[in-house]
Amino acid sequence: MPMPHRTFAQLAKRRLVGKEGRERVREVNALLAELPDYRNGPYADLRKSLLAELDETRIRASAVHRDSIAVRREGAAQVALVGPPNVGKSSVLQALSEIQIRTGDYAFTTLRPVPALTRIGGVPVQLVEIPGLIAGANEDRGGGRALLGVLRSADAIVYCARAAADPAELRVVMDEVAAAGIDAPSCIAATRADEAPADAVAAIAAAFPEHRVIEVSVLDERALDRFRDEVWRLTGLIRVRLRTNGATDEEPLALHPPATVVDVADLVHHDLAEACAGARVWGPSARFDGQRVGRDHLVADLDTVEILR
């Protein structure tokens, strides 16, 4: 005699509580196997609802997968754009890259981190918009924990505050980042500066004396150039161009300082690093153009280096 169908239904419900994804599918299959095999009546209805449960569980699982917010790293460095909604983060990302992204005058237009590759002095750098970090993010408000997780892997942070807004808005976001123990090199972009009164940027700088503040407007190419320069400074990387047989590469190499001539050679090939007898150097680290230096000479940002064997 099978157990009454109502009892089975209750039992099934209890066994599925708190289970999701593969675990829930396994449990539903086990229940289906235990279910008396009637073609009609309440047991058949139960079977139908369990089969529907299987489908729904699979759909939910794939939705969770698609909504995963992890960002694949690309480029020489990853720099996060963080700030309250509507300050122009997406707009800056769009102005500096090829991506098409939703921007809007309403809050939370962007719900997930959005990566975009930009070139700074020829070096690809990944910018990532971190949307919707709100008060209580550390308690997972607004999905804050996952967002902070993405932020944790960034090499640097650009805090974005609307130049005309109350600096307290940004302070809330900064406090959440600090509470999460995240401490990366950072600066503040005073955004939408074209809309702000002349003294607005100074007010932001006064409110955050520990940060460099740069003015940004997506309508101002020169401001965007300064933004790029500041992002580059935050990465801490240096750019070195290689010269081979009198021709200089268009694309620089990016290195973490302190870096030597051998480190440059090693980026090209391990064999070259071994064969390297020194280099000729043009640029900031050279006393004169084409200076002959040894293997351990420290290169500087914007040097051109010809490796000698």
Ligand X SMILES: Nc1nc2c(ncn2[C@@H]2O[C@H](COP(=O)(O)OP(=O)(O)O)[C@@H](O)[C@H]2O)c(=O)[nH]1
Positions in the binding site for ligand X (CB under 6 A): 85-91, 103-105, 109-110, 191-192, 194-195, 217-219
Q: Residue 87 touches which of Mg ion, ligand X, none (CB < 5 to 8 A by kind)? A: ligand X
Q: How far is the CB of 86 from ligand X (least distance, A)?
A: 5
Say if residues 101 and 93 touch (Cβ distance below 8 Å): yes
Task: Select 110 or 191, whichever has its Cβ closest to Mg ion.
Answer: 110
Give the span between the Cα atoms of 211 and 280, in whole angstroms: 38
Q: Is 66 helix (H, G, I), strand (E, B) or coil?
A: helix
The nearer residue to Mg ion, 130 or 305, going by C-beta atoms, is 130
Query: What is the rounded distance in angstroms from the CA atom of residue 251 to the CA atom of residue 256?
Result: 16
- Tell me how far, at minimum, the Cβ of 161 lies from Mg ion, in Å: 14
Residue 122 interacts, among Mg ion, ligand X, none and using kind-specific CB cut-offs from 5 to 8 Å, with: none
Which residues bind to Mg ion, rule: CB under 5 A?
Answer: 89-90, 109-110
Tokens representing residue 69 in the block: 């917010």
Task: Give the span between the Cα atoms of 113 and 151, in whole angstroms.
Answer: 9
Task: Give the span between the Cα atoms of 305 and 209, in whole angstroms.
Answer: 39
What is the closest distance, in whole angstroms, from the C-beta atom of residue 150 to ligand X in the complex? Answer: 15
Instruction: In angstroms, give the least distance from the CB of 91 to Mg ion.
Output: 8
State the minimum distance, in angstroms, from the CB of residue 81 to Mg ion.
9
Decide: helix, strand or coil at residue 253: strand
Q: 203: exposed, middle or buried (C-beta count within 10 Å: 0-12, 13-18, 19+)?
A: middle
Shortest gap between Cβ of 102 and Mg ion (angstroms)? 7
Nearer to ligand X, 156 or 253 (CB): 156
User: Considering CB distances under 5 to 8 angstroms, the limit depending on partner class, which of ligand X, Mg ion, none binds residue 186?
Assistant: none
List residues bridging with 124 in a β-sheet: 119
- Here the tokens at position 34 are 């235990």
Paired tokens of 216 = 């940004």
Pick one of ligand X, Mg ion, none as the site partner of residue 77 (Cβ within 5 to 8 A by kind): none
Which residues, other chains included, contact 139 with Cβ-Cβ below 8 Å and sequence gap of 6+? none
Chosen from ligand X, Mg ion, none, partner binding at 74 (C-beta under 5 to 8 Å by type)? none
Q: Which does 143 bind (CB under 5 to 8 A by kind): ligand X, Mg ion, none?
A: none
Q: Work out how close the CB of 101 gets to ligand X at its nearest, in angstroms, rounded to a whole number.
A: 8
Q: Which is nearer to Mg ion, 87 or 190 (CB)?
A: 87
Residue least distant from ligand X (Cβ): 88
Indicate the residue among 31 and 160 with the shorter CB distance to ligand X. Answer: 160
* Burial classification of residue 14, based on how many CB atoms lie within 10 Å of its CB (0-12 exposed, 13-18 middle, 19 or more buried): exposed
The interface partner of residue 118, options being Mg ion, ligand X, none and the CB cut-off 5 to 8 Å by kind, is none
- Distance between CA atoms of 76 and 51, rounded to whole angstroms? 49
